Amino acid sequence: MEDVKVAVQGHHSLSNKLVLVLAITAGMVVANIYYNQPLLADIGRGFHVEVRQLGIISMLTQLGYAVGMFLFVPLGDMRERRRLIVTTLAFVTLSLLATTFSQSVLWLAVASFAVGVTSVVPQMVVPLAANLAPAEERGRVVGIVMSGLLVGILLARTVSGFIGGVFGWRVMYGLASVLMLVLAVSLRVLLPNSYPQSPLTYRSLFPSLGRLIRTEPVLREAALMGSMQFGAFSVFWTTLVFFLERPPYHFGSEVAGLFGLVGVAGAMIAPVAGRISDRKSPALVTGVGAIVTFFSFLVFWLWGHSLWGLIMGVILLDLGVQSSQISNQARIYSLRPDARNRINTIYMVTYFIGGAIGSSVGANAWAIWGWNGVCASGAIMVLIGIAVWTLGRIRRVTN
């Protein structure tokens, strides 16, 4: 296939076209997890339930994502990757259809969990990109694919807020199921075959995850820090729609979704962060990103009731989270080339557990303490991540 150029010693490098395909795939599939956030208020009114009960929908979707990564993403180190990706897309199509026709909150919760479990294709795509990219371009390529992923996260809110506000939330999920089916057919044609390097069996797979956790301190540090960053990210985005419905804004789900467009400005830093990580210290970029994220919550707290302050905070939040994410992944993908899917599994499972915790914490903080509680919760999670990063720096200096 012309999109993959065979290089020396059996390795491959990526064409720009295939990098773009992988980035679009990551963005389209990860969006499934975030469609519900701007729609929570509308869903609540439809099922006559309160804010605190709806927090579990976002939480279960992200927990499902973590479970799916744990069970299925490591298979990329064992199975042919194109077939694995296409098969997974078929199952996410069915999960989205189940969400579309939900008749109760319980049904919706189970379907949302299934959407999370099956929407793990981006975490198969990112290691695939890292495997195909030459070492000197790995940070840049991962940065581009992760830009697609973050744009998908952010634009998911914009698209679902608009479609949900005009046509209703069920139409959004029906449309998403059609998009996943089209994507599955397209990738069957566009992706190259990609076979694993590892001779692992499924039985030996999970013990190998434990060994990686024990023997790779950089992986432990990156995973813990990433989980706190993403937890803070989820604290904000889960509660934004409720904040915007109150004075002084009085906005609906359509406007809440538009804030995703603001966050795209932060997503554009991903290739830059990747290039800096290629040339400088990825660990340093990770720490700087965390500090930027912390300042975003100060902006939300001090000036969040003004539109300009909210916009500035969103830009800083997405800039900080994405910079840390790209740099963390550049660090961990350099550890064990033969185990990138498993390393990515450990990192992203921890990452999305943090996101699920953040969704639950954010919903409860909003219900009990309002906006001040949301800002404090997000800032505390970021500070925990900064503490983990600082301890890692001290360990590396002393060793």
Residue type, 97: L
Helix (H, G, I), strand (E, B) or coil at 12: strand
Residues 6+ apart with CB under 8 A from 229: 289, 290, 293, 320, 321, 324, 325, 354, 381, 382, 385
Cα gap 98→220, rounded to integer Å: 36
Residue ranges of alpha helices (H) inside the chain are 16-34, 40-47, 51-72, 81-100, 105-118, 122-132, 138-167, 169-190, 202-215, 217-245, 253-267, 270-279, 282-303, 307-333, 340-398
Low-confidence ranges of the chain (pLDDT < 50): 1-12
Q: 12 has which bridge partners? A: 6
Q: Pick the closest to residue 168 from 112, 262, 252, 261 (CA basis).
A: 252
- What is the full DSSP assignment across 187-236? HHHHSPP---S----HHHHHHHHHHHHHH-HHHHHHHHHHHHHHHHHHHH
Cα gap 388→218, rounded to integer Å: 11
Q: 6 has which bridge partners? A: 12
Structure tokens at 392: 């890692």
- Specify the pLDDT at position 182: 95
Q: Residue 191: count other Cβ atoms within 10 Å of its Cβ.
A: 22
What domains lie within the chain, and their CATH numbers? 15-398 (1.20.1250.20)
Cα gap 230→234, rounded to integer Å: 6
- Specify the pLDDT at position 205: 76
Residue 391's alpha-carbon distances to 88, 224, 334, in angstroms, are: 38, 12, 21
- Specify the pLDDT at position 3: 37
Residues 6+ apart with CB under 8 A from 353: 62, 63, 66, 227
- Torsions phi, psi for 200 (to 5 deg): -60, 150
Cα gap 210→213, rounded to integer Å: 5
Helix (H, G, I), strand (E, B) or coil at 7: coil
- What is the full DSSP assignment across 354-380? HHHHHHHHHHHHHHHHHHHHHHHHHHH
Cα gap 300→310, rounded to integer Å: 6
Q: Pick the closest to residue 345 from 166, 198, 209, 159 (CA basis).
A: 209
Residue type, 234: S
Given a contact cutoff of 8 angstroms between Cβ atoms, the answer to whether 13 and 137 are in contact is yes
Residue 195's alpha-carbon distances to 131, 213, 231, 245, in angstroms, are: 10, 24, 34, 50
